[in-house]
Each structure stands twice: as C-alpha cells, then as structure tokens.
Structure 1
Amino acid sequence: MNICPAHLFRIFSRPCCFMVQIFVFLSILTVSVQAQQFFYVNSETGSDEIGDGSASAPWATVEKARDTLRELRKTQKYPENGFVVELTGTFSFPEKNLTFTAEDSGESMLAPMVYRASKAGALFVGGSPLSQDGFRKVSDPKVLARLKEGVQDKVWEFDLSTVGITKIAPLPQKFQTWPSVELFSNEKAMQIARFPNQGWIEIPKVIDRGVAPVDRTKDEWEFGVRPAVFEFTEEEPKRWDVSKGIWLTGFWCHDWFAETIKLGAIDMEKKQFTTEVNSRYGVGNHSAWHTAKRRYFVLNLLEELDAPGEWYIDTEKNVLYFYPKDGDLSNVVLSVQKKTMLEIRDAKFFVLDGIQAKCSLGPALALRNCEDSLIKNVRVFNTTNDGVHIGGGKRSGLAYSEVFNAGRACVSLTGGDRKTLEKCGNFVTNCHLHHSGRLQRTSGGYCLYFGGCGCYAAHNLLHDSPYICIGYGGNEHLFEFNEVHSAMMESGDGGGMYTGRDWGSLGNVIQFNYFHHFGQAGVDWQKAQGLSPDYEPLKESIMVMGVYLDDCDSGDTVQNNLFYRAGWAAFVGGGRYNKILNNLFIECTAAVHFDDRGLRRAKPGEGFKNGWDLLAKIEEMNYDQSPWKERYPFLLNVMQDDPKLPLHNTVRGNVSVGSSQWLQMHNTARETSLHRIDFTENYVFNSPVSQQDIFPLNPDGSVRTSFREEVIPLGELEKTDFRALQQEIRKLVPKFQHLPVEKMGLEQPVSDNSSSPETFTSR
C-alpha cells in the first residue's frame, strides 16, 4: 500500500465518518510490508547478555528489546517501514510493570513501531506463579479446627513469603472495587471463601437501617451514618470468628448499588448481625421501585472454605489456604501487579499485536495519551479490575480483540475535550467483550465504558454483565453496529446502555445496534442454548432497561436499533432534546418510557445536591460561549423554558410488535408532558393493551401513534435475522427503514483462540 503522509493527514483531519477513518487506519497498520527491521525476543531460549536480537540469538526480555531500540535510533536512520519486535514465550510482571513512552514511537502510519506475538504466542502475566511443590497439607490444629469436617484433608496451604510476597494488607472496612490479591487456577478465577457457596441470603428483617432521618416529601435521599443491624436465620454464624475479619457483599438498599462492608458483631441469641461501619445508603429498602428483599453473601472466612476452588489468606500469618478443584495444583497464580501491567504512554504510531495478557490486579494493557496507536488481536482475561484502558490522545484504540472475565470493566475508552468539543477519534471496533463485573457488580463493572468527546465503538459483541453492559458520558460519541445481550443479570434499575444526570451530555448517537435478552430473559435465553449461566436474577424487579437515559440526560439520538426482549427499551428519565427514531421493539416490557422526575429532583442553579444541579454542570462547560453556543444553541434559554420538564423530545417512525406496553409514563408526566413530546407516525402491533385514546392525531393530521389490529406473526426471528418480520412490517408500514441486523455485531471472528462458553461462565 502506497499512501503519502500528506494524504493521510488530510483523511484524518477532515470531519468525515469515523468508520472511514478507522478502516484506513487499520488497513495501513496491518498491511504486510518490506523494509521493516525485525528483532526477536524469546523468554525461554533468549539471553539478554549474549543475544543480539536476531532470530537465531533472541533476547530474553521485552525490556532489553525496548532499551536497545531506543539506543539504536540515536545512531541509525529509522527503517523505511518501521521496527517489528516479535515476542515468544511467557513474560511475568508481578511487581515491576512494562512501560513504553514517546521514545518508543514510530514515525508514521507507514513506519510504525510494532511489538507482536509470534505464531508460537506471547503471554503476559501479572501474577506470581505458586509452584505445586510449595503447597503443604494443613496440619496446624487451630486451623483444622476452623475448617469443616470433610474438607480438612482437601485444603492446602502455601507460605507466600517463599515467593517474595511479604505482606498483604487486610481488606478495608468497606469498598466496591476489589482492593486485594486474587487467586487463579487453570485459567479460571477462584472464589474467595464465602457463604453460601452460591446465590444470596435474603435479609428477613432490618432492626436499624443505620441512616439519618430525611424529609421524604422533598424527595431527599437517605444515606448511611452508622452501623446497621439486621437479622439472620442461618446456624452457620455460630462457628465464625469475627475477630479474624469477615466481610459481607450485598445490595443493601438499592438494586443498582452493591457494596462490601465489614461485619462487626454476631449476636447468636438474637440472631443479629451488626456491621462494623455504615453502608453508603443504609441497609433495607428505601424506595417503592426496589421491592426485592435486600440480599448479601458472606466472604473471607476460613470457616466456610468448603467448596472446590475456594481460597482464603490469613494476612497475619501471610499464608494462603486453597481447596483445589480435583486436587490439581499444577497451574496456580496469585495476581499481585497493582499497576497497569503493560502501559504505552505518550507514544505515536505504536502497535501492539497478538499477545495474551492475564492475572493483573490493575489494568492489563493501556494506551494513554497516544496518537495513531493500536492494540489489536489481543486476548485479555482474568483481570481483577479492568482489562484494557484507552485514554487521552487521538485516533488510538482496540480492534479485533477479546477481553473477558474482568473483575471490574473489560474496556474503558476516553479522550477528547468536552469544553472545546474536540473529538479524540479513539475507538473500539470488532471486539468481543464479555463477562464483566465479576467482583465489582455495579458502579463500573461494564463490558465497555466510553467518555469525553468523540469516541467510536462499532461492530462489537458485548454481553454478560451483572449490571450495566455499556456505560457512557460526554459528547459526540458514536455507538453503532454492535450486538449487546445478557445485561442486567443480577441487579435492577440499569440497562444495556446507560448514561445520566447531565443536560450537557449531548450529541451522542446510538444507531444500528441489536439489543436483546436482558435480565431474566437473558438467563432463559442462555439456558435454551445449552449454557449454564451462573447468575441469580433479581427477584421482583422490573427495572431492566434497554438504552437508559437516566436522570434528565439530554440530547442523545437513539435510531435504527432493534430491541428484542430488552426490558423497558428506550427509557427517557426526564431528559430533553432526545430523539427516538425508526427503532423496532419486539416483545419488550415497554417500548418507550418518559417521566418528569426533574420536577421533584432537579436543582438547577441551587448548588450541587447529589449531582442534581444540572445548570452548574453545563456552566462548567461554558455552554453560553463558543463552541457550545453554536453547537447546542437550544441550551442558551434552558432556564426560561420549563427546565425541569422533559421537553423537546421526538419519537418518530418507530414500530413495536408484541411488547407488553407501547408507552409507559410515570409520575405526572402524562399530564405535564405527553402533549409536548413529538410523537409522529409510530405503529404498534400485537399489543395486549391499546393506548389509542391518549394519541389523537397531530394538528397537521399526521398519526402520532397508531395501534393496529393486524397481527404480525413472529416465527423464528433470530434464525432469519428478522428479515421475514421486517418484510411483514414494511407491507403495513412502507416508510419503516429496514434494519440490517446481519451487519450488527462482529464483522469477523476476533481470533483463533476465542474462549469457549466453559471458559468464561465461571464467576
């Protein structure tokens, strides 16, 4: 491929489609060219002392290759088509991490700096391997007395000081993000000892919620201020030693907030737990929306180390206790790397290609403040927190990769400048991101998060998250041609996609995506395919959304998407300037939702109150100055335009088939707002309930929403990519735009070593 740098600059400078830019970018950085200078690293056969980096005498470490190339560039001309460093073997980074900087940049898209795995493979590990020879059967009588009968001869111990791990801090009193080490065996995350071994315990009665009094008539929120007290019914706690440190993970108040707190005391006579500290929102139901009983499980207690795969660390003795599955101790790793294991910072034209990375506490891989750089064909798994970070810089991203089994988020993508509306052009394309939130179930346990200004996500397959699958914030992002399923598998009041509480999060477009099977529908769908999803969906909760524009979020466009069994599909929670256009809703709980929560909660101009001063947020963006006043002129008079109402929203050209409800309106929205929302030419079929009486014709005679009597057969929708259904719809609604469902999701397989279901269903 022969493209001059000047032409490339023109391509990436003009405001053209994201996809065109990224296609050109990937084509250039993946093309096979001559005049590259190759070096080789092999962790098993190489030597940093006598190797010269050739294929016959490779180096042993990546650091040696990096440092040698830095020196080499000082004395020789950069190769016409760049450097390629080919990596083979396993590279461990339990303490120090691997960093690349501006010194390691390529010179152009045609002359990048490339670090790539060989055909034999390259694996990066952020943990300490625990040799089988270091394990001993438990013999200490005091420890054996704490273990249950029947497992005492199956639990092994390992002195961590023998592998250089001298001190592991106790868990903090409360947390959301897992703050300590984690154990892996045979490529799966092991379970810290817990009770019960699966599922949750429901709280039968709360004695003291631990909250401060509030004025409910003013919609004030309750917050925890002291330890809580609640009852239990189980007999197991009589064996537990609280002085050793026991923690409880639970959905203590809200279905959207899971938190781990330390147990302070056990009263077996009253059968009551007292927490060591307050939970953030107290313990017990707060809202009529959250009707499910509060639930929790107990963790980090040696007395409940009773199932294969469970482990426990005595932080005072610095000893690991482990009950291996099938007695297999051959492949055990303790993740200890707290930093980003492999970080590329401030580089340009840098490519990381084909590696695998696992068992890191911090992110496994990151591009930070890079330009025109790429991570591709990688497989990242079993990270205790996040998998991959792409942050800052321009035109950099992740492509053709798989990231899964993340303790927190699989991928985080940010960049750009919201105040200046400068787009970053950072991207995630053709990636398989799945099984997030393994340890942090809410508040960050996404398959994908994107924020800032001008990110792009396309042709990805995203699935299996206990809470929100895709979270986003900021401006001018484009999310298109993705498939999203099996979100909201353990929680409530969230969605497949979520953003919220910002008048200024404007200009985002969500189009040509396939959202399907969320919550209980996701569990049922997976079981029908012969899988064994390890989730317990939230009982009694109906708060499962498709695309969730929460708490007065404004200015987003949701168009040309397919929602199939996706809960409350297009959910507008009090926001303004949103557009819901040409979507197809099939068997959803509700196709469209509006409410006017801003009348009670929004506090524009009243100072920050739990983030509800929406005016202050756009003032931080200088909304009345350039470029905001030109890009979003409608904000200029927002305070004179009934700011607390969901005004200037548009719902046009949508079709609903078989959904339980077409429009759901909460609070007083039907009286305050329904007549002020632009409903035009929406069509509803197979509806059990007609709402035709609230949808008279528009003043110009056009249809607002038409509830049709024709019955559209659904048939085997997924086997036909919904083509037959859309043909029937277009016979009745000729203006409906065809949705290319076959183009939604991955364009091609991510890699030859994609995980099997057995690999990634472990939690």
Structure 2
Amino acid sequence: MVSGQEGSATLPWRRHQDRLQETPGLVWLYSFEDFSPEGRASASLGGNRDLLRFEGRTPPVLTIGRDPAAKAISLDAEPMRTTLLPADQGFTVEVVFRKLGQGKELGNGRTNGAVFAQGNGYWEGFRVWCDYPDMRIHFEIGRPQPQNAVGISGVVPIPDSVWHHIAAVWDTREMRLYWNGILIAAGEYGGPYTPPKAPNFTLGFADAGIGSLQMEVDELAGFSRPLSPAEILAHALQEAVPTGPSAESLGKAADAAARRDWQTMRNEFQAAAETATGTPVAAGAKFGAALARRLQGRLPEACEEFIALMRDPEVPAILRDAAARMLVVQMKNIHWACAPLDVYQALLAQQGWSDEDRQNLLDSAAEAALVEGKTGPAEDYYRQLAALKAEEGLPAWEVRLQLAHCSRAGGDWDTARARYREVADDTNAPPELRSLALLGWASTYEQAGDFAAAEQAYEALAKDARLIPLHRWEAQEAASAMERVARGLPPRDPLEHRTRVTLPRPTTRLYVAPDGNDASPGTADRPLATLEGARDAVRRLKTGSGLPEGGVAVVIRGGLYPRTTAWELEEQDSGEEGRPVIYQAAEGEKPVFTGGVVLRGFSPVQDPKILARLPENARDKVVQLDMAAAGVQDLGEIQKRGFGLAGYPANPWVDLYINNVPGTLARWPNDGFVKTRAFSTPLAEEGRSSPAEFEIDPEPAAWSADDLWLFGYWRYLWAGHMIRVAHIDPQTRRLKTAMPSNYGFAEGMPYYFFNALEAIDAPGEWYLDRKTGMLYLYPPVDLSQAEVKFPVLAKSFVHMRNAGHVVLRGLTFECGRAEGVVVEGGENVLVAGCTLARLGTNGAVMLGGRGHGLLGCDLVTLGAGGVIARGGDVATLTPGGLFVENCHVHEFTRVDRNYAPAVNMDGVGNVIRHNLFHDSPHHGIRLGGFDHLVELNEVHSVVYESDDQSGIDMFGDPVIRGNVLRYNFWHHI
C-alpha cells in the first residue's frame, strides 16, 4: 500500500485500472507493475490473465510511468508478445506510451517504427506504427495477397517525449484511430479479417517492412469489441465514462471528424464541454475543439485555445503536454511562432524536449520576440540556436540571416549591413539565401530613410548576377519605388496596377427595347427588338457609310429579353481602333437576357405509383408539373461532368432555380458522402477501363436505376466525376456502373447518388422524369409567391469569332445551360460591368486573340468555372494581353466539383488583377504558361470538398516561368 502524498497521486490511476477491468469485452490489460528483469513478463490484470512476455536478449529497463508512482518499460528492437486478440467481430487496442525517436531497426531502409501489431499487419492481422520525420500514426489491417494492407493515417503529427493514449478501433465496417481520446483518422473497411498465422500479439518491433521505435509503454489494453468515443476519451483521461448529452456529443464529434467536417467536429466538442463543465472530460472536449480549429487552418485561434489548456492546472497532464507540443508548429520545414514570447519562454524552461524540438522552440521564440519588437531577446535565442546547430555540425545560414534581421529591426544599420554582407559573401551558402541577404542589405538604406542611397543600392542589385532572377526583378521594382518616395510620392503608382480602358463617346446610336421591332430603324422612338436586329443594322451601316468617328453605340433598354439561340458575331461585326461597336445598357436601366422560362401550374402528386416511390415524409409536400403543358419540349439530358470535363465546350447542364437559387437535383445522402465498399471488379489501374460493381446501402438498393447517377471521388480525392448507374440488384444490394472511372476505383472512397425520385425528402430537391416529361419538386418556399425558372438555352448567350473592338457593357445574361460569353480569336473585345449568372458551364471563355478582357463583371452560380482565358503565343512568348480585372466570381464549380476555377488562365502575358473569388469546392485559380501577372486579388472559402488543392494551382510543369504573383490575399482555404 502507498500512503500520504504518493497515495493521493496514484489514486486516480488505481481507480482507472479498476474501471478498465470491469469494461465489457476486455481480453487483456497490462500495466507492468509486476514486471521484473528476472521474470521478463507481466500478467494481465483482467480478461484472460495471459502473460505479456519479453522475448529478447536484454530485458527492458523499468522507468517512471505516466503517473509518477507507476511503472513503464522501455522498448526498441526487441518486442514483447502475448496471446492473440479476438478481432473478427471488431476490436479495440489502447496503448499509453511515449516515443523517444527512431529505434535501431529501420523499415526497409526507411525511418519508421511499430507501436504494436497482431501478425504482420500487412497480409494479415493489423498494426499501428509511426513514421519519421512526419511523426504521423498509421493504422493498417492486413489483407492476403495479391492485395495488401488497407490503412488510415493521423491528420496531425504526434510529438516525441510526452505520454500519449492511442486507440485503434475496427467495428467490421470502419477503422478509426484516436489520439488522447480525439479521433484523428477514419476509413471504411468492410472486408473480412485475416487471422495471423503466428498466434502472437506484439508490442513493439514486428518487422514486415516497419522498423522499431525508442519508446516507453505505460499501459496496454485489448478489447474484443469496438469501444465508443466516450469510452476512449474516458480511458485516455483515466476518468469514468461519461453518459447522457456529453457522450452523445462526443460520438457526433467523432463522426464529424471521420468525415473531416471540422466545423461540426468543433461544434459537437464545444457542446460536450458545456454539458461536462469543470470535469476532465470537458478539458478533453476543449482539446478536441482546439484541434478542429487547427485542422480548419485557423492556426492563431487554435493556438490561443491550446495556450489556455496548457496553462490550466486543472487540465489533465496528458492534455497539457499535448497542447504545449501543438504550439511547436512546423509545416513544410517552416517554424511558425503562433504563440506570444512568454509562452515559448515557459516551454523552454520545461524538461524533456528533444534536440530538434528545442531548436524549433528557440526559432519560434526568436520569431515571437521579433514580432513583439524585442530584438535583444530575439538575438539571444538566435545565438543559442546557432550554437546548437554548430554542436551538431549543421549549417546555420538561415540563423545568421535572422541575426541580420534582428540588427535591422533594432535600427543598428552598420551591424545589419555587415551581417547581411557576411551571408552574401559566403560562397558556401545557398544562392537563394545569399540573394535574400543582398536584398536585406539594400533594405537597410530604405528603412533608415536614405531613399537616394536605397535607390542606388537596389539599382546595383538589379544588375548583380549573384541575385536569383526573381530577386533582381524585385530589386528593380524597389528601385523604382525609392525614386518615387524620394520625390514625395507613394512607393507605387496605383494606375500601374490597373488596366486603362478609354472608350470614345459614339455620336451614332441604335436602340433596342423589349417592345421594339427589328423592322424599325432603331431610333430612340422606334427601337429594334433583338441583338440580331442590332447586329444586322450595324452591318448595314458599315457596308454603307462605314463606321463613324467614335464608333457606334447600341443602347439596350431595360427589361427581359428571352433567348433560345446564341447571338453570334463574326469578323464582319467588328469595330475599328477608335471606332468600336458598343452594346450597352441604357443609363440607369437593366436589360436582362434570359435563357430560362418561368414555370407555373404546379399541383400535388396524385399518382399512387409515384407516391409509393417518394419518401414518406415528402409525399404530401412534393408537387409536380407537366413540362410539355408548360411549353417546354427540350428537357435536356444528364451527361458526364467532373474531372477533366469542365473546359470548353462542356456538356450543357440543366438546373432548376427557385427565386434565383438553384434547387438540389434529388440526392442521397442529402449532405456529405457514403463510401465505396466490397468491389467485385478490379480496382486501381487494373480496373480503370471497365465499369465497376460494388455493394451499396439498403435504401438506394430499392430504387429504380433508370437515369440514376453517382458523383464520386472514385480513386483520388482530387479527381471526382459523375458515373451513370447501369443496374441495381435489390436482393444482393450490388450496383453496376454504366461506365468506368478516369483512374479506376478504390475501396472507401466518397460518393453520392443523384437524380433519383426516391431521394426527394428535403425542401429544394427536385427530379425530372424525362420519359414522362413530369417535373417533381419539394418546394422550399410558397410557390405562389415564388418564381421557378427552367433553363432552355443550350448554347452560349454570346459567341464571337474573330471579332474585334466590340464592347458589351452593363448587360445581364442569366439562366442558361451552357456558357455566358465565348470569344474566339479577334482582338480587343471588352466585357465590362456585365453579370453572368446561373449558367450550366463556364461564365466566360476567351480563346486566342489578343487584348480581350473582362472588367468589373459579376459571375455567380456557375456549373463550371468563372473564366477560361488562353491567349499569347507560347512558341514566341508573344503576350496575349488578356485580362480579368475587378470581377467578382463566386458559387462556381457547382456541377463539376473540381478543376473549374474562378479563372483558368494559360498562354503568355495575361493578367488576373483586383478580383474577388470565393465559394467553391475546389481551387480558386489555375495558372499555366508564361509571364502572367496575378496581383491584388482576394481568394477565400475554396477547397471545401476536394483534396490536394489550394487557392491557386500551377501543376508541376517545369517549363513554365516568368509568372508574377504579388499582393494577393488568401484566406479561409
């Protein structure tokens, strides 16, 4: 027995073990209190009482465990083994351990190490392991040859030197991995469990391509059932299992984390924290909420919450230590100072940091000091960091550069210049760092206010071959800025960052109005009726007296102009330099060209067969409309869209708009995805040219497969597209697709069903039966007070071929199945102040030609992307001069879901500037080619569904160069 302070300290630990022994499904539980070097084994405290035996030469060293009075064992290349865990009906393995780095054994020459394994974990059983330097935890279930393990990987690195609770769970359908009670990975696996040939569960090194860890193990528990999120969090914190609302919220948080819905994960953890206020479980929930913030990319807010957890003595130590390590942020070899200096000072005072972590901390502390204007402490930390690197024989050029930055920040210009020169003159330093040092040297004159000397320094660097080309260009820009500042002007001329458009004021005018007549002369009192009528009138004018000085203005009065065909302009419809043809809205008026028809006359569904197919909750709410009776003959068709299919021309797309808001083509599930499983056809490369067959859920298995479609990320999370369903067998719940996938198929990939009458169960969902011509809608609003529109225009609104000096100004093109404006060839076509909305494919397309541009346009609710712009001659690097400027593009990539950005630009010498792009499941900009300028744009709320993307995508073409990206604001990505 223990007494006094020691007894008080160990009481929660003892109670925790008592609770574990009473947990249903426990097979074995090891805490190593009875382990001795002589006995070389530890007996299970519960379950089957089997021994965990050490089978190596040198017995493990006993050390202090997670609780100061508890014991732990040290393992590396020699493991411990016990009896198998029954796993075919699901299982959970929990381990409390701390890793101290790579062990003696490498995994096929790679730095990684096993935590535990049943069998080899590759072709049988399962395993959990960690890799270096990423420090991610991986959970794999083995599958027999010719397949191999299916696995999941943690979304955050697990740091060394602190205690962790790791839980691996399989419920026969889904694999889950938890860290300190928080789910960090999940993936579907509904296949069979393959028992290992050897009857052993291994703690530590198990070979099969995975090396060993230096680690200390405090506790190991195995269960023959999947534990709940509430049980796992309680075990991680050595607490009683919560029940009621907090347990329910913890379950929902784990489910949200499994589908990577970080906001819902955060919301549910916050709810759990509120219902469990003042308990360790509440602290665990707060840790989960902070982790969700980090996974959202909101690092500053996440760090604030981790700091609060680290500083709270009531928070369990395992969470305080983990929160502290979350403040040592390293991304792509960059250390982020995400906390105030005093936090890093407190962390540096702690023991147990690895040499690498201490270097990261010193780097972060120095940066935090610089941010807070404390150059003295910053210099001290950088000196300590340089000394540590020197001890390890590592170069410290970056640190020497940071020391120069410290001197510059402190206004010690002579020391700063000397330090910058020291790095710049070191021929062993990387060229890019020498180049940065030279720019830093010149910047000291700028910051000292000696603008003439700064201009001279930058001018010299612009010709200095030691600078990399980008820095020479930057030096030239800075020299120009210094010349302006020396004259008392702002560093940059705002006009240099704008495309200057000067339009003449035409004295010749033609008029168009909704109540006009194309037989009229086009005067103000006798206007024309259509764009074709105006175009033809301009042609007659050109063949007669020719274009007058200042060109021609076609003034279009406000009102609605239905369109059923594309308005086509050819070379003969061009203006001339100084004599453009301008199609413009009348001042203060809004002409709207619509490709849609308004639908009226909806009635309740009466057909018993249709009612039987509708979900029960929707039967008295869904209404129908006979499209033929409504005057719509062309219903369109669903054609494949998605990855690689969003270019020009893309397959037309039909939507239904209620008060200008797109309805949802009836889908299941209503939100998110389900996962592929149990394929009976080849996967991956072997199956990429053939349709697939796999198992589906009971609900869609009962549906008609007639014109039923799927959208999925079939093998990669960056390559989603549609696939039509060929057949569903309701008895076996097997689905056959009618077409293959671009890259083949894989187990556990996300997809959903759409275009199913049986799926209409939520307001706004609709379905069009193209065989009967009947439209079904679950109204989201009172239809007597709403406008329901159906697009009938299947071509672009405007199509120009080799036209030049044409201007579209202030016009609205809306509700079409295809593009808004297409410009092929020609020169100097300007689309200014126009609205392109509710389109099935891309907003605007500019292919070839030169000098075309979109200026001040709104592009919204687009099935594909905003603008495709390809101009310039790649062979000769002749600029195209295309520009997209001051435009607002949002709600794009609605149908294709990937690779349909706000602007897709290629070619040579084009511009994307002063735009606002947001709300897309994929990226904001795709840039290819040469010498483009992307500046002063704001991009946010993109990449909210797909993977392997960011605000801008430039692919990996090693040839492209000369592109300049500057002064852009990227956030919430």
TM-score for both structures, normalised by structure 2: 0.46
Q: Do residues 83 (structure 1) and 552 (structure 2) align? A: yes
Mark the CA change 1:433 to 1:236 in structure 2 (over 3 Å): closer, same or farther.
same
5 Å matches for 1:96-107?
A: 96-107=565-576
- 1:40 is aligned with what amino acid? Y
Q: Please state how far the C-alpha of 1:471 moved relative to its aligned partner.
A: 0.7
- 1:433 is aligned with what amino acid? V
Q: Please state how far the C-alpha of 1:226 moved relative to its aligned partner.
A: 2.8
Q: Do residues 447 (structure 1) and 917 (structure 2) align? A: no
5 Å matches for 1:504-519?
A: 504-518=959-973
Q: Do residues 503 (structure 1) and 973 (structure 2) align? A: no
Over the residues paired in the alignment, what is the CA RMSD in angstroms?
2.6
Give the structure 2 partner of residue 123 of structure 1. Answer: 592
Mark the CA change 1:69 to 1:167 in structure 2 (over 3 Å): closer, same or farther.
closer
Mark the CA change 1:424 to 1:210 in structure 2 (over 3 Å): closer, same or farther.
same
Mark the CA change 1:228 to 1:19 in structure 2 (over 3 Å): closer, same or farther.
farther
Quote the Cα distance in structure 1 between the aligned partners of 2:864 and 2:686: 27
Give the structure 2 partner of residue 376 of structure 1. Answer: 832
Report Cα offsets for 1:292-324 as digits up to 9, x if no partner.
x42111101111122222111112112222222
Give the structure 1 partner of residue 722 of structure 2. Answer: 260
Q: Do residues 36 (structure 1) and 473 (structure 2) align? A: no
Give the structure 2 partner of residue 236 of structure 1. Answer: 699
Q: Please state how far the C-alpha of 1:195 moved relative to its aligned partner.
A: 0.9
Mark the CA change 1:416 to 1:162 in structure 2 (over 3 Å): closer, same or farther.
farther
2:608 to 118, 141, 160: 141
SS at match of 1:500: coil
Q: Please state how far the C-alpha of 1:144 moved relative to its aligned partner.
A: 2.1
Quote the Cα distance in structure 2 between the aligned partners of 1:180 and 1:478: 32
Quote the Cα distance in structure 1 between the aligned partners of 2:590 and 2:548: 25
Mark the CA change 1:379 to 1:179 in structure 2 (over 3 Å): closer, same or farther.
closer
Quote the Cα distance in structure 2 between the aligned partners of 1:466 and 1:222: 29
Quote the Cα distance in structure 2 between the aligned partners of 1:112 and 1:181: 35
Quote the Cα distance in structure 1 between the aligned partners of 2:493 and 2:857: 19
Give the structure 1 partner of residue 775 of structure 2. Answer: 320
1:358 to 794, 814, 824: 814
Name the one with the larger helix percent: 2
1:397 to 849, 853, 862: 853
Paired residues of 2:513 and 2:557 also in contact (CA < 8 A): yes
Higher relative contact order (CA 8 A, sep 6+): 1
Mark the CA change 1:308 to 1:94 in structure 2 (over 3 Å): closer, same or farther.
farther
Q: Do residues 343 (structure 1) and 811 (structure 2) align? A: no
Paired residues of 2:701 and 2:733 also in contact (CA < 8 A): no
Paired residues of 2:837 and 2:861 also in contact (CA < 8 A): yes
Give the structure 2 partner of residue 490 of structure 1. Answer: 945
Quote the Cα distance in structure 2 between the aligned partners of 1:255 and 1:187: 31
Report Cα offsets for 1:618-653 as digits up to 9, x if no partner.
xxxxxxxxxxxxxxxxxxxxxxxxxxxxxxxxxxxx
Mark the CA change 1:506 to 1:83 in structure 2 (over 3 Å): closer, same or farther.
same
Mark the CA change 1:316 to 1:94 in structure 2 (over 3 Å): closer, same or farther.
farther
- 1:266 is aligned with what amino acid? I
Where structure 2 has 5 or more consecutive residues not aligned to the other structure, the ranges are 1-479, 481-491, 646-650
- 1:37 is aligned with what amino acid? T
Paired residues of 2:653 and 2:818 also in contact (CA < 8 A): no
Quote the Cα distance in structure 1 between the aligned partners of 2:628 and 2:787: 19
SS at match of 1:463: strand
- 1:158 is aligned with what amino acid? L
Quote the Cα distance in structure 2 between the aligned partners of 1:22 and 1:97: 35
Quote the Cα distance in structure 1 between the aligned partners of 2:741 and 2:692: 8
Give the structure 1 partner of residue 516 of structure 2. Answer: 46
2:759 to 304, 310, 323: 304
Paired residues of 1:399 and 1:430 also in contact (CA < 8 A): yes
Paired residues of 2:507 and 2:550 also in contact (CA < 8 A): yes
Paired residues of 2:884 and 2:913 also in contact (CA < 8 A): yes
1:132 to 583, 587, 600: 600
Give the structure 1 partner of residue 179 of structure 2. Answer: none
Report Cα offsets for 1:19-40 as digits up to 9, x if no partner.
97895641x12x6x3x521221
Q: Please state how far the C-alpha of 1:440 moved relative to its aligned partner.
A: 0.5
Q: Please state how far the C-alpha of 1:223 moved relative to its aligned partner.
A: 5.2
Give the structure 2 partner of residue 282 of structure 1. Answer: 744
Q: Judge which range, 266-275 or 503-512, deviates more.
A: 266-275
5 Å matches for 1:198-209?
A: 198-203=671-676, 205-208=677-680
Q: Please state how far the C-alpha of 1:77 moved relative to its aligned partner.
A: 4.3
Q: Do residues 476 (structure 1) and 931 (structure 2) align? A: yes
Q: Please state how far the C-alpha of 1:517 moved relative to its aligned partner.
A: 2.0
Q: Do residues 112 (structure 1) and 580 (structure 2) align? A: yes
SS at match of 1:464: strand
Quote the Cα distance in structure 2 between the aligned partners of 1:104 and 1:91: 24
Report Cα offsets for 1:256-280 as digits up to 9, x if no partner.
0111112233344544433333222
Q: Do residues 248 (structure 1) and 715 (structure 2) align? A: no
SS at match of 2:904: strand
Identity of aligned residues (%): 33
Mark the CA change 1:94 to 1:304 in structure 2 (over 3 Å): closer, same or farther.
farther
5 Å matches for 1:546-557?
A: none
- 2:843 is aligned with what amino acid? G
Q: Please state how far the C-alpha of 1:410 moved relative to its aligned partner.
A: 0.9
Where structure 1 has 5 or more consecutive residues not aligned to the other structure, the ranges are 1-15, 213-220, 286-292, 519-763
Quote the Cα distance in structure 2 between the aligned partners of 1:175 and 1:168: 21
- 2:858 is aligned with what amino acid? E
| Aligned pairs, number | 475
1:184 to 657, 660, 665: 657
Quote the Cα distance in structure 2 between the aligned partners of 1:78 and 1:248: 54
- 2:678 is aligned with what amino acid? V
Quote the Cα distance in structure 1 between the aligned partners of 2:865 and 2:904: 8
Paired residues of 2:623 and 2:778 also in contact (CA < 8 A): yes
1:226 to 690, 695, 715: 690
Q: Please state how far the C-alpha of 1:238 moved relative to its aligned partner.
A: 4.5
Quote the Cα distance in structure 2 between the aligned partners of 1:229 and 1:86: 58
Quote the Cα distance in structure 2 between the aligned partners of 1:490 and 1:52: 53
Report Cα offsets for 1:120-153 as digits up to 9, x if no partner.
21111122x13314x3433323222212224233
Q: Please state how far the C-alpha of 1:91 moved relative to its aligned partner.
A: 4.8
TM-score for both structures, normalised by structure 1: 0.59
Q: Please state how far the C-alpha of 1:489 moved relative to its aligned partner.
A: 0.9
Report Cα offsets for 1:675-697 as digits up to 9, x if no partner.
xxxxxxxxxxxxxxxxxxxxxxx
Quote the Cα distance in structure 2 between the aligned partners of 1:141 and 1:296: 31
Quote the Cα distance in structure 1 between the aligned partners of 2:687 and 2:955: 20
Report Cα offsets for 1:575-602 as digits up to 9, x if no partner.
xxxxxxxxxxxxxxxxxxxxxxxxxxxx
Report Cα offsets for 1:699-735 as digits up to 9, x if no partner.
xxxxxxxxxxxxxxxxxxxxxxxxxxxxxxxxxxxxx
Paired residues of 2:720 and 2:897 also in contact (CA < 8 A): yes
Q: Please state how far the C-alpha of 1:354 moved relative to its aligned partner.
A: 0.6
SS at match of 2:610: helix
Paired residues of 2:694 and 2:735 also in contact (CA < 8 A): yes
Quote the Cα distance in structure 1 between the aligned partners of 2:966 and 2:746: 39
SS at match of 1:515: strand
Quote the Cα distance in structure 1 between the aligned partners of 2:516 and 2:807: 23
Quote the Cα distance in structure 1 between the aligned partners of 2:639 and 2:831: 35
5 Å matches for 1:706-717?
A: none
Give the structure 1 partner of residue 533 of structure 2. Answer: 64
Quote the Cα distance in structure 2 between the aligned partners of 1:507 and 1:209: 46
Paired residues of 1:410 and 1:446 also in contact (CA < 8 A): yes
- 1:224 is aligned with what amino acid? R
